[in-house]
Structure 1
Amino acid sequence: MKAFVIGSSAVRARRLDRVALPSMRALAEDTRLPVNLGVRDGQSAIYIEQFETGGTMRLLLRLGRQLPLHATAIGKVLVAWLWDDALAQAIGDGPLASFTVHTTTDRDIFLADLDAVRANGWATDDQEYEEGLFCVAAPIRDRSGEVVAGLSVSSLASRVGDEAIRELARHVTAAASEVSGKLGWQSANSGLDFELDQFID
Structure 2
Amino acid sequence: MKETDKQVATVKSADRVLDIFELFAERHDPINLTELSRELDMPASSAHKLLQNLLARGYLESDKQGKTFRLGHKLFEIGSKYAQRTDLSGEFQLAAQKMIDELNESVFLTIRNGEMALYIAEKQSTHPVRFVSHLGMQLPLHATAMGKVLLSGMSDDEIGKLYPDGLLGKLTDTTITDFAELMRQIRQIRVDGIGFSAGESVHGIRCVAAPIFGAQGQISSSLGISMPESRWEPEIWERISRAVVQGAKEMSTKLSYIP
| Contact map agreement 1:73 1:123 (CA 8 A) in 2 | yes
Q: CA RMSD in A?
A: 2.0
Query: Of the two structures, which has the highest relative contact order with CA contacts closer than 8 Å and spacing of 6 or more?
Result: 1
Structure 1: stretches of 5+ with no match in the other structure: 6-10, 188-201
Structure 2: stretches of 5+ with no match in the other structure: 1-75
Give the AA of the match of 1:34. S
Task: Please name the residue that 2:98 is paired with.
Answer: 26
How many Å apart are 1:160 and its aligned residue? 1.6
TM-score by length of 1: 0.83
Deviates more, 1:88-97 or 1:130-139: 88-97
CA distance in 2, matches of 1:100, 1:53: 24
**Is 1:140–2:215 an aligned residue pair?**
no
How many Å apart are 1:172 and its aligned residue? 0.3
| Contact map agreement 1:151 1:172 (CA 8 A) in 2 | yes
CA-to-aligned-CA distance 1:160-194 (integer Å, 9 cap, x gap): 2333222111000000111101111123xxxxxxx
**Secondary structure of the equivalent of 1:4?**
helix
Task: Please name the residue that 1:51 is paired with.
Answer: 123
Which protein has the larger Cα radius of gyration, Structure 1 or Structure 2? 2
CA distance in 1, matches of 2:208, 2:163: 20
Task: Please name the residue that 1:154 is paired with.
Answer: 226
**Is 1:4–2:86 an aligned residue pair?**
no
TM-score by length of 2: 0.65
| Contact map agreement 1:4 1:15 (CA 8 A) in 2 | no
Superposition pairs of residues 1-201 of structure 1, within 5 angstroms: 3-4=78-79, 14-187=86-259
92 and 20 in structure 1: CA distance in 2 versus 1, 3 angstrom threshold: farther
| Contact map agreement 1:3 1:15 (CA 8 A) in 2 | no
Structure 1: 4+ residue segments shifted above 4 A = none
CA-to-aligned-CA distance 1:116-162 (integer Å, 9 cap, x gap): 21121111110111110000000000111100000001111232233
> Aligned pair count?
181
Give the AA of the match of 1:59. F
Structure (1/2) with the larger helix percentage: 2
How many Å apart are 1:57 and its aligned residue? 3.7
